[in-house]
């Protein structure tokens, strides 16, 4: 019989290659996340444009038809999915907050997803597309964080054989800009890459938007941004395939919130909250379609699980790909301050109903917001409203006050136009969803239950206006922001 040490060394020599092989087989994880884009892809039913690359990804994996963000604006949404936490639970619920002298720190024990991957031996990167050498992609987190959680801007910088977790953050709907200049730019790019641009005649607007020429043209350009995003997805997949790593890579495609439009981005309607979510790669059954409601933060948990990394017990995201996963009964979302514009909304959505609570009902739907008001589509809407050219549905956005509660049957009324909150026939459902929201706010420690302090607001507004001054932005735009800040303070003082 071999001596004890010899037997130990023999066993170790047999086990180590197995362990090395197991490590080499750990899947790569790639997130592709465009800005400002709803589920306007042909695999989701969009007929005005063709999106073959996202469609192919969906055919090879799983498509979620009811995926929703927990915040309809980028920084709060990104703060949530990079931690797997509701932005309201970690104090990151105000858009572009913690940027000034007043800082936001994550609660004890909360770590960023890339840090967890890094600790597990993964190379971590974040980039735009096409990437710029050494330049990290969009982060936009609302809390203090250490940039060292990213090893670099591209997975090509990893060690030989090292698995990688890569985020690709792209412009998406932002490609169309805010006016004719941006529209022409993206349409020209589509024409060059694909041989055509989306004609205005192909546009089918939601019923709450009028067919103003600028709104139609903007939507056509938006559809071209969808097509160019699809091209980008194809380029990413082609690179993975060329490098021989595609088969061992879990690809997750999602957007950071819905289209930037009057009733989309920054609002709690499905136009702002509903996003595409397509996942393909090792262990994913091709051609799967899931109709249960899921939240965008769930990509954090499922990615960790796919890599064999333990999901922190404190993480609110769920592994929606787990064999023992029990579908959510509802998903939740929150909208708070966006830039200078103070607001406070919460929502809960099931497969059949949407409930929205407006905590500041005495404010108009379209509060002043310099970022959105500079867009040609908002200018067009206001012009036609003043001229009396909007129908009753299109005028909903111009109400000077809001109902405290909104309830929609999203199957019968997918555009969320007919508020059922005051209908006695739906009193039971209203009470049920109201209770669900109350419990969620309490159980998740919704920090938005207390208004943002004047000190934090002033701190962030100083950064906002100071940055514009440094960039020598249009003085009229800066004055508008300063006027809006004064108005927000006035309304707050009035209890409005």
- 172 conformational bin, left if phi > 0, alpha if psi -120 to 50, beta if neither: left
Q: What is the tens place of the pLDDT at every residue in 65-114?
A: 999 999 999 999 999 999 999 999 999 999 999 999 999 999 999 999 99
Predicted TM-score (pTM) of the model is 0.94
**Is the bond leading into 272 cis (omega within 30 degrees of zero)?**
no
Top CATH class of 25-453 equals alpha beta
Phi, psi of 431 (to 5 degrees): -65, -40
DSSP string of 361-387, one letter each residue: TTS-SS---HHHHTSHHHHHHHHHHHT
- Render the burial of 317-350: b for 16+ CB within 10 Å, e for the rest: bbbbbeeebeebebbbbbbbbbbbbbbbbbbbbb
DSSP-H helix ranges across 106-212: 113-119, 180-194
Phi, psi of 290 (to 5 degrees): -115, 130
Strands 28-34 vs 62-68: parallel, antiparallel or unpaired? unpaired
pLDDT value, residue 472: 85
Provide mean pLDDT across the span 450-459: 97
pLDDT value, residue 143: 98
Integer Rg of the chain from CA: 24
Band of the pLDDT at 3, cuts 50, 70, 90? low
Q: Please tell me the distance from the alpha carbon of residue 421 to that of residue 361, in angstroms, as a whole number.
A: 14
Strand partners, 333: 347
Provide mean pLDDT across the span 217-237: 98
Q: What is the tens place of the pLDDT at every residue in 231-274?
A: 999 999 999 999 999 999 999 999 999 999 999 999 999 999 99
Work out whether the CA dihedral 128, 173, 47, 198 comes out positive or negative: negative
Where do the structural domains in the chain lie, given as residue ranges? 25-453
Residue 43 in this model has a pLDDT that exceeds 70: yes
DSSP-H helix ranges across 342-453: 370-373, 376-386, 427-443
Contacts of 86 (CB under 8 A, 6+ apart): 70, 80, 297, 316, 332, 334, 444, 446
Q: Please tell me the distance from the alpha carbon of residue 281 to that of residue 246, in angstroms, as a whole number.
A: 8
Q: What is the tens place of the pLDDT at every residue in 353-381?
A: 999 999 999 999 999 999 999 999 999 99
Band of the pLDDT at 16, cuts 50, 70, 90? very low
Residue 19 in this model has a pLDDT that exceeds 80: no
- Render the burial of 165-180: b for 16+ CB within 10 Å, e for the rest: bbbbbbbbbbbbbbbe
């Amino acid at each position: 019989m071999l001596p004890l040490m010899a037997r130990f060394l023999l066993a170790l020599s047999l086990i180590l290659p197995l362990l090395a092989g197991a490590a080499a087989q750990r899947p790569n994880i790639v997130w592709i996340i465009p800005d400002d884009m709803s589920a306007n892809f042909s695999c989701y039913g969009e007929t005005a444009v063709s999106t073959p690359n996202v469609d192919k990804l969906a055919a090879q994996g799983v498509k979620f038809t009811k995926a929703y963000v927990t915040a309809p604006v980028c920084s709060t949404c990104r703060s949530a999915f990079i931690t797997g936490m509701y932005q309201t639970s970690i104090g990151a619920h105000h858009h572009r907050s913690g940027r000034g002298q007043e800082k936001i720190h994550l609660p004890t024990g909360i770590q960023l997803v890339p840090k967890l991957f890094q600790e597990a031996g993964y190379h971590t990167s974040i980039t735009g597309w096409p990437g710029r050498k050494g330049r990290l992609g969009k982060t936009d987190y609302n809390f203090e964080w250490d940039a060292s959680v990213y090893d670099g801007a591209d997975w090509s910088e990893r060690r030989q054989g090292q698995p990688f977790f890569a985020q690709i953050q792209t412009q998406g709907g932002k490609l169309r800009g805010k006016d004719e200049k941006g529209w022409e730019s993206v349409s020209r790019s589509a024409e060059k890459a694909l041989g055509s641009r989306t004609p205005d005649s192909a546009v089918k607007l939601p019923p709450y938007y009028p067919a103003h020429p600028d709104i139609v043209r903007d939507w056509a350009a938006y559809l071209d941004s969808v097509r160019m995003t699809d091209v980008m997805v194809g380029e990413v997949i082609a690179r993975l395939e060329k490098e021989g790593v595609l088969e061992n890579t879990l690809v997750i495609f999602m957007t950071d919130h819905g289209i930037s439009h009057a009733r989309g981005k920054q609002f709690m309607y499905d136009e702002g909250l509903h996003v595409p979510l397509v996942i393909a790669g090792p262990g994913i059954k091709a051609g799967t379609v899931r109709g249960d409601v899921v939240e965008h933060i769930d990509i954090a948990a499922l990615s960790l699980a796919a890599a064999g990394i333990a999901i922190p017990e404190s993480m609110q995201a769920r592994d929606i790909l787990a064999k023992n996963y029990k579908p959510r009964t509802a998903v939740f979302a929150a909208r708070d301050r966006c830039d200078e514009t103070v607001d406070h909304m919460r929502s809960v959505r099931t497969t059949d109903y949407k409930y929205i609570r407006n905590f500041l009902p005495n404010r108009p739907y379209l509060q002043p917001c310099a970022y959105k008001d500079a867009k040609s589509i908002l200018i067009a809407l206001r012009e036609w409203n003043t001229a009396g050219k909007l129908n009753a549905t299109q005028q909903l956005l111009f109400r000077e006050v809001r109902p405290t509660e909104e309830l929609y049957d999203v199957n019968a009324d997918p555009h969320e136009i007919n508020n059922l909150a005051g209908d006695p026939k739906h009193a039971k459902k209203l009470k049920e969803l109201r209770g669900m929201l109350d419990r969620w706010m309490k159980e998740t420690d919704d920090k938005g239950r207390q208004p943002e302090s004047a000190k934090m607001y002033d701190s962030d507004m100083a950064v906002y206006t100071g940055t514009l001054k440094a960039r020598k932005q249009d003085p009229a735009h800066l004055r508008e922001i300063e006027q809006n800040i004064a108005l927000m303070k006035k309304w707050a003082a009035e209890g409005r």
